[in-house]
Structure 1
Amino acid sequence: MNRRLGPVKRRELIARLKRLGWRGPIPSRHDYMALGRRKVHIPNDKEIDAGLLRVILNEAGISRDEWFNTD
């Protein structure tokens, strides 16, 4: 089943990334999360729209299946 990405709250994005092994958010000028040497910046917006979520997941190397399996 091909589910669509929708908007998520910042808190949910952080929680799901943590379940996938990422650590953070690490405070800096722009908060980010890290997995090994890989970094993904986390916006400060309370809600992250589907387009930006898609960009974040691509940068993190996370597939849609992985994302939806972290429910």
Structure 2
Amino acid sequence: MPKVPAVTGSEVIHALEKVGFQVVRQKGIYVRMQHEDGRVVTIPVHAGKNVGRGLLRKILRDAKMTREEFIDLL
């Protein structure tokens, strides 16, 4: 299984938009995204900083995606 790559919050948002997630709201640095079927994820967007690997794994778990599916979207 490949490692989760280092990506920024903006890259995560663009990848999730490709599979049907939409930005619902933003409060400060946190962007809340929701899928049509009800899945919800929250992504921190720090300018120029990567999302931590553990947090990215949690986001993928909430989005019900595998690492391979996410890497293919990048």
Give the conservation status (yes or no) of the 8 Å contact 1:14–1:25.
Answer: no
TM-score (norm 1): 0.82
RMSD between superposed Cα atoms in Å: 1.7
Give the conservation status (yes or no) of the 8 Å contact 1:6–1:49.
Answer: no
1:6-58 deviations in Å (ceiling 9; x for gaps): 32111100000001111115224642000022211111333201111001100
Match of 2:10 in 1: 11
TM-score (norm 2): 0.79
Match of 1:33 in 2: 33
Structure 2 stretches of 5 or more lacking a match?
none
SS at match of 2:41: strand
Percent identity reads 29
Structure 1 stretches of 5 or more lacking a match?
none
